[in-house]
Amino acid sequence: MIKAQVHDKFKIFAGELAPDQSIGKLAGQVAAFAKESGVAAKSIGVSFVESANRLLITLGYRDDVPGYPIRLHSVRLGKIDPTASDFTALEKAMALASGKHQNIICHELYVTGDKEFVLVFMTHEA
């Protein structure tokens, strides 16, 4: 079934973080593109460019199979020490956050300028 996940098409979305440091309105833009284009979303990439205060989201997709509705969710997991060597507590927080969402297709993360760790899930909205 891995062939169903393989994809080679991408769409890029860019914007500012919401005041709460979430992906804000970009979440709706990504979901709207998938719905309006009828594509099958397969992956996301998220990068925060601190020097420009901009968030870039890439959506990997297929257009040769039926599409389905998706949704992006931001989950703030707290501040991190990027020089740490043990991320056990953060891994547990990620697992706890994933338990609050169904039909997770994939995840991505970004770290804000304040070292806030934000997890983004892409879910299938069945």
Q: What is the predicted pLDDT for the residue at 89?
A: 87
pTM of the predicted model over 0.85 = yes
Per-residue pLDDT of the chain (126 residues; tens, 9 = 90+): 888 888 999 999 999 999 999 999 999 999 999 999 999 999 999 999 999 989 999 999 999 999 999 999 999 998 888 788 898 988 999 999 999 999 999 999 999 988 899 999 999 997
The pLDDT value recorded for residue 4 is: 83
pLDDT value of residue 82: 75
The pLDDT value recorded for residue 61 is 97
Segments forming the whole domain that contains residue 114: 2-124
Between the alpha carbon of residue 86 and those of residues 30, 48, 79, 82, the distances in Å are 33, 23, 14, 10
The separation between the first and the last C-alpha atoms of the chain, rounded to the nearest angstrom, is 19
What pLDDT score was predicted for residue 60? 97
